[in-house]
Amino acid sequence: MKMKNLLVLGSISFLFLSGCTNVEERVYDKYATDAFYATPEGADVALAGVYAQVAGNWDGVGYAGADKGWYDLNCMSADEQVIPHRTSGDWQLDFARIYQHDWLPTDLILNNTWNWLYKSVFSANLAVEQLTLANADPSKIAEAKVLRAFFYYLLIDDYGSVPFYTANNITVDQIPQASRTEVFNFIIQELTDNVESLSATKGGNYYGRFNKYAGYALLAKVYLNAEVYTGTPKWAECLAACDKVSEGGFSLHPSGADISAPMGNKYFELFGDVLPDDETILAIYVTENIVSRNVYAVRSLYGPHAEKLWTYQGWNGTFVPKDFFQKYANADIRKKQFLYGPQEGGFNYTIDVASLDNPGAPPQAGVRNTKFFPVGQQDGGGASNDFPIYRYADILLMKAECNVRLGNAAAAKPYIDMVRQRAGLSALAANPTLDNIYDERGFELNWEGHRRQDMIRFDKFLLPNLFRGASPEYRKLFPIPTSALDANHGLKQNTGY
């Protein structure tokens, strides 16, 4: 059974407030309010509003699950997926332009991502204030601060130097812009000060929440990309944070044939309705049409083909580019997620796609992905698959990368081999190279929100592909949206835009 206490609290609070349109103003004593937030139930209400931003829903709100937000911006600017304009007239050009690295400061998806992240920072600031004034349980205050650090981490990863504030007592036009390094240092300080105060509970009420191990996973991610953010690598620090995650007793979820599992293999239980707690470190709780949604498989499949498989139409959008797909070995069980070539019912997904935009791709062009094979779905609006933000396979590959970068490739080999062998592949014949690790991260973590970051860290992001030439250096950052510059004239646009 999924644990959704925080999300339900947040949903009920929102519905209650939005349903009251003609009420008398009442002033409550602030001490009564503080006493409420000091209780376990009150602290969870304060946190629920922040976690609701992580889950999100439509219109670019949320980390992953729906259209035109953070996930699409970061995944479609990489090499693992794209939605083309279809020659049938479907799909606007926004997604293709992101893949082609032609985005502009006025683009909707850029704006949606920015607005979501700053709404989330505001919510986290509010929770920190409410819980601090109430002298709430220190673990709950720490949780709010770690959530805020998570949002600032996503901001500097995408936009570089960004507006920075930690109290909601300042107007938008007055928020100062801090350098990427300054915000990085704040994130590190917040995490190192607070992660040990987080609950060590796994699962239950902490399914989908930052416990201590998820906090260390976030810290490891920030350290992993420190050289990109500040010019100074932090490989040893990243490795130490990964070791802290390992203290949580995580392991790789087993693979193996199982007719009851998605795509006939237990491996794909990692992307189902309730994610297995042996490997899952932090997840987004999803219930279709109620809390968030997961559109990724249904958004990929051709409409009539999806209807044959699932009884409802697919959106015929996302495909996997040929050069990414063809790197998978045939023996790799992870290749089962891809649909290509002739399909039952007379459908045929061609591997080759000639055009993204003009004239675009025919309706059945492109390899499709069912990694998040829909569960619990009643219509085409989104499935109930939960979404993994952090899982242990990522931690193992981070350990491998850090060891190679620190000159100890022999220590890296067991970690990458564990991931490979779970996928049905043999161990590497020699100690891993950085290219081995880069490839394995792509094979294992595709469509989970990590690829753009990985491509930048491994100096692959600017390379040409089948649909564009080499990109200029400034494309490693997204531009600050024009609307944000208009609202705060003190902001400086990123170079090149």
**Coil, strand or helix at 291:** strand
For residue 5, what pLDDT is reported? 46
- Among all chains, which residue has been given the structure tokens 């089962």? 336
For residue 216, what pLDDT is reported? 98
Q: Indicate if the pLDDT at residue 12 is higher than 90.
A: no
pLDDT tens per residue across span 42-90? 999 999 999 999 999 888 999 997 789 999 999 999 999 999 999 999 9
Helices (H), 339-470: 392-405, 409-422, 434-445, 451-457
For residue 24, what pLDDT is reported? 43
For residue 45, what pLDDT is reported? 93
For residue 288, what pLDDT is reported? 82
The residue that leads in pLDDT, 375 or 230, is: 230
Q: Indicate if the pLDDT at residue 25 is higher than 60.
A: no
The residue that leads in pLDDT, 52 or 18, is: 52
Q: Indicate if the pLDDT at residue 353 is higher than 70.
A: yes
Q: What average pLDDT score do residues 280-300 get?
A: 91
Beta strand pairing call for 280-284 and 177-178: unpaired
For residue 26, what pLDDT is reported? 47
Find residue 365's DSSP bridge partners.
350
Q: Indicate if the pLDDT at residue 7 is higher than 60.
A: no
Q: Indicate if the pLDDT at residue 349 is higher than 70.
A: yes
Percentage, residues of the chain above pLDDT 70: 94
Q: What average pLDDT score do residues 390-401 get?
A: 98
For residue 204, what pLDDT is reported? 87
pLDDT tens per residue across span 109-143? 999 999 999 999 999 999 999 999 999 999 999 99
For residue 472, what pLDDT is reported? 98
For residue 31, what pLDDT is reported? 52
Q: What average pLDDT score do residues 382-399 get?
A: 96
**Coil, strand or helix at 220:** helix
**If we measure between CA atoms, which residue out of 151, 265, 139, 137 comes closest to residue 201?**
139
For residue 266, what pLDDT is reported? 97
Q: What is the DSSP string of 36-59?
A: HHHSHHHHHHHHHHHHHHHH--ST
The phi, psi pair for 54, rounded to 5°, reads -65, -45
Q: Indicate if the pLDDT at residue 343 is higher than 70.
A: yes
For residue 318, what pLDDT is reported? 98
pLDDT tens per residue across span 397-451? 999 999 999 999 999 999 999 999 999 999 999 999 999 999 999 999 999 999 9
